Amino acid sequence: MLRVAVVEEDYVYVEYLKSLLFQWADKKTEINVSTFVNGTDLVENLTHASAYDVIFMDLSPNQPDGILAAKSLRDMGYKNLLVLTAAFGDRACEGYQVNAYRYYVKPVMQENIKECMDYAFIQKTGSYFQYTYHGVTERIAFRKIVCFESRQHYIDIHTLSGIVHIKRTLKEIQKQCPAYFLRCQRSYIVNINCILSRKGSQLKLINGKVVTVSPRYLETVVSAMGS
């Protein structure tokens, strides 16, 4: 489970942010979201330094300063993700003072939530893909996974040492993967760090497998490879 604190005075915006968080978490992991009207409220009610995996701190000018609250959190020993949000970008440099992971100008978008929550999820679980099959829970380091291949209702996980078969869908798996795993067609998700070469729409992977990128995903793959 990931524990998230949202510091925000605007109730409508709180509900909007919570909806994005729960959309991200759907079928991926359990999530608990606590809300606070300002940073002082959060600091005064913090039970222990690692009570939250992610804190979204609003820098509203109408409330006790969020940067001061963030400094207090760091002084108390909070070492997890701190995400600053604000109506304008004029205070972004202050994020360095509190080691903020990101500074987002409102409204925070779904892609912003995915970026920071994916990172928080990896930090929490370790860089592993975890699955349960036939009552046994296993973990595979993401860096050892070359690609995921869909075969009807089953998935072949191509690793550096062999193939693992599980019963899942690519849609479910993609929600668990870090950003360097890209969908390249309806049947494949590929680790871009395991692409040996690209020729047109053909990807050659380090295990010798050749995967064709569909037109829908080609631009994203080319951009991710930097060419």
Q: Please tell me the pTM assigned to this model.
A: 0.59
Tell me how far apart the alpha carbons of residues 5 and 82 are, in angstroms, rounded to a whole number: 10
Q: What is the pLDDT along the chain (227 residues), one digit of tens a residue?
A: 889 999 999 999 999 999 999 999 987 788 999 999 999 999 998 888 778 999 999 997 766 688 999 999 999 889 899 999 998 888 888 888 899 999 999 999 999 999 999 888 877 776 788 888 778 888 898 889 999 999 888 999 999 999 999 988 898 888 778 778 899 999 999 999 899 999 999 999 999 999 999 999 998 888 888 76
Residue 79 identity (one-letter amino acid):
K
